[in-house]
Amino acid sequence: MAYLHKQWQIDALFLVDAPFYTENNLQMIVSLRWVSQVPATVTAAK
């Protein structure tokens, strides 16, 4: 996912699937705008 940071420097809202929702992935896209479904196993989703 590091390639997103280098290649996708655009003003956009990214839609990511629930399996994308991992700590590592979220740290890589911190500067991007995104929306995702949160897996129900995440405590904050309950």
> pLDDT tens digits for the chain (46 residues)?
566 666 666 778 888 888 887 888 888 778 788 888 777 777 766 6
CA-based max dimension of the chain? 35
**Count of domains observed in the chain:** 1
Find the domain containing 25 and state its range: 2-45
The residues, any chain, with a CB within 8 Å of residue 42's CB and separated by 6 or more, are 21
pTM value surpassing 0.85 = no
- Angle (CA) 3-27-29 rounded to 5° is 45
Q: How far apart are CA 41 and CA 18, in angstroms?
A: 11
